[in-house]
Amino acid sequence: AMLCLTCPFTCAPLCPGVIATKTLILEQDEVSYEIRGCTANITTRRPYGELQNVAKESVLCFACFSSGVMENMTLCPGFGCNHDLVDEIVEELKKRMKDRGDVGQLKRTEDALTEIKALKSEMHEMRLDLHEIMKSLKVPIRSTYGSVPLESTMDRGGLT
């Protein structure tokens, strides 16, 4: 008879590399989790901003962490007994989630501001075109742009 020690969570043999190797890669903007084995290769990628609550979890003597990298699954690096490594991973993931989340929000805000400026410029060009059309049709112009007459904005070369 052959005895095979199995993981209490996944029932997979506790021989690294026999069934699959698992790799957690912390890239610049996202985290990826790769499972490479003889029967399947799986890669999951998530931007740091999309990770769920990252937390250390202890089950019996095993040190694991949950993060949403693999849905509804805790990850136990190594043989599951390296508490220091799990603490380091959890700390780094939380740091990157905060940094990338803040940076991502800032980038989205800057993109929106750029779009608003482009629309404002386009609207100004359309007002100038309308002014020229009305002028050629000899229609009196009485509108103002805000509290500044249209003629004043044309003299300055645009809006500020």
In the chain, the amino acid numbered 159 is L
Please give the sequence-ordered ranges of beta strands (E in DSSP) within 38-134, or none if there are none.
41-47, 55-59, 62-66
**What sign for the dihedral angle of Cα 104, 106, 107, 111?**
positive
Give the tokens for residue 40: 């399947």
User: Residue 138, SS3?
Assistant: coil
Q: What is the pLDDT of residues 36-62, one digit of tens each?
A: 877 778 888 888 877 777 888 887 788
Virtual torsion, Cα 46, 50, 55, 59, nearest 10 deg: -50
Interval 22-27 mean pLDDT: 85
* Highest averaged pLDDT of the listed ranges 33-37, 48-52, 90-94, 122-126: 122-126
The reported pTM is 0.52
Band of the pLDDT at 1, cuts 50, 70, 90?
Answer: very low
- pLDDT for residue 4 is more than 80: no
Alpha carbons 66 and 63: distance in angstroms, whole number: 11
